Structure 1
C-alpha cells in the first residue's frame, strides 16, 4: 500500500513479507508525518516490522517519539535501517546503541 500525504516530501509504503511488515519511508518525518509512519508500521497484525528509513532526509523529536512507540510495541521484533541523517539524530538522542538499529 502506498500512502502520500499532503506534504509531498513524505512517502510510506508497506508490504508484508513472511509475517513481517516492511515499511519504507522517504522524505521528512516530523510532527506532521510521524503518526503516519507509526500507523503504516502497525496497520497489519504482525509480531515484527522492519522500518526502512534509508530514504529519510529529516527526522525530528516527533519522529523519535513514534520510533520509541514502535520499539515498545514490537520489542525484539523491530529492525530499523537508518539513513545518515536519522542515524545522526539517534546518536545525538542517545539511541544509537539500541538493538533495533541496524546498519
Structure 2
C-alpha cells in the first residue's frame, strides 16, 4: 500500500496541489488523503476517486516494466509542462502501480 500512497503524493505534488486541494477535488477529507499517502489500507474506490481528481487513471503493471512505464509517463507529463512524477531521490524502484495522466491540459 505504501507504493500507492507514494504515487498519489507524487502526482499531487506534480499538479502543485496541497492535500487539502486534492481532497476537495476528490470529495473527501484531507485526513483521508494523508492516510492514503502514508500507506494505509485503501479501497479501490478511493484510489479511483483520487485518480479522477488528478485527471488520471490507475494502471497495474508487472514490476519488471514499471520503471519503463514510469519513464514514459514522465515524458508525457513533461510534454504537458509538468514535472516528473519520480520521488525526491529520483527513484521509481519497486513500483507496482503507476498513474497514467489522461488530462487534456495542465
The answer, yes or no, to whether TM exceeds 0.5 is no
User: TM-score w.r.t. structure 2 length?
Assistant: 0.27
Larger helix share, 1 or 2: 2
- Of structures 1 and 2, the one scoring higher in RCO (CA 8 A, sep 6+) is 2
User: TM-score w.r.t. structure 1 length?
Assistant: 0.27
